[in-house]
Amino acid sequence: MSQPSLRVPLALFAALALVPILRAAGVPIGGFVPLLLERVMVFALAAMSLDLILGVGGLISFGHAAPLAIGAYTVAALDHAGVTEAAIALPCALVASGIFAALTGAVALRTRGVNFIMITLAFAQMVYFAVSSLSDYGGDDGYTLYSRTTVFGRPWLEARSFYVTALVVLFLAWLLLRVITASRFGRALAAVRQNRVRVQALGLNAFAIELVAMVIAAMLCAVAGVLLANEAEFVSPAYGSWSHSGDLMVMVILGGIGSLHGAIIGALVVVLAEEGLGRLTSHWPLIYGPALVLAVLFLRRGLAGIGGSRG
């Protein structure tokens, strides 16, 4: 994936950074706006992680919500045990999601096309039903956190500072993914998507490259799960449902496949559209669905592709 101009993504981050700056300056901004943007940033992080394997690697995973749920339920499990330190919760979430991706990827990557899609969906549903059966964590009803996670004892994930923390994490993840996609590994992953046989003829292990990409994507998505649990102060089995995987895919496609900042744009549009239309009518999916179809038909390169902006 080529490295495009930084103007659009940096403008996006600057716009997001304006909210806490304006609030600190005393400008009246409704409390609902930051809360909504916090959710946008959390899902943007999850969507960017999906874009690594979908946009760069061409792997259509319909189970990417599974690591999101793993990250969230790691926070819930530790909260239930009285542990609320991110220095413990985050590594546990990364390890759990990494192991999950390595084991499931080792199976799914032995297939291609529709079979790969269905296997990733099946594994995600396994996670969904597994967490639904955890009675200690509320089962189908979900689990309410006793307190938000602290970062080295500091309340960086509390309501007042969560926005800035989420923005910093999103920016660092974007930087990391840019480095990965521009690296030899990123170019090799893109080459596997374009011509798997040729990559193997050059002596590279296409299976290992794709598996590593899936592990990286899952671990980043688990970070989003940790943030989501703290943002909502609640964890639900729905986080791992197939519909959430579909939402993440819609964000990537709408924003522009292969465009990292496009995932942020896609998350912004999807979250705002769902919230806005939901306030207008209870039948909002009847509007949202056709609008999404039209967007896909007429914006072949996604929203990030308007004006030739990619990346």
The predicted structure's pLDDT at residue 4: 53
In a domain? residue 29: yes
In a domain? residue 1: no
Res. 216 pLDDT band, cuts 50 70 90: very high
Q: What is the pLDDT of residues 17-52, one digit of tens each?
A: 998 888 877 777 766 888 999 999 999 999 999 999
Q: What is the mean pLDDT of residues 86-109?
A: 96
pLDDT at 133 over 50: yes
Res. 69 pLDDT band, cuts 50 70 90: very high
Residue type, 290: P
| Whole-number Å distance between alpha carbons of 262 and 272 | 15
| Residues of the domain holding 291 | 7-308
Q: What is the mean pLDDT of residues 196-203?
A: 89
In a domain? residue 24: yes
Number of domains making up the chain = 1
Orientation angle between helical segments 260-280 and 159-182, nearest 10 degrees: 140
Q: What is the mean pLDDT of residues 260-282?
A: 87
In a domain? residue 154: yes
β-sheet bridge partners, residue 154: 151
Nearest Cα to 171, choosing from 27, 3, 37, 10? 10
pLDDT at 54 over 70: yes
Cα distances from 18 to residues 28, 125, 218, 275, in angstroms, run: 13, 39, 30, 22
Res. 2 pLDDT band, cuts 50 70 90: very low
pLDDT at 144 over 50: yes
Q: Return the CATH number at 298.
A: 1.10.3470
Residues near 290 by beta carbon (within 8 Å), at least 6 away in sequence: none
In a domain? residue 2: no
In a domain? residue 97: yes
* 281: three-class secondary structure by DSSP: coil
Sign of the four-CA dihedral 145, 146, 151, 157 = positive
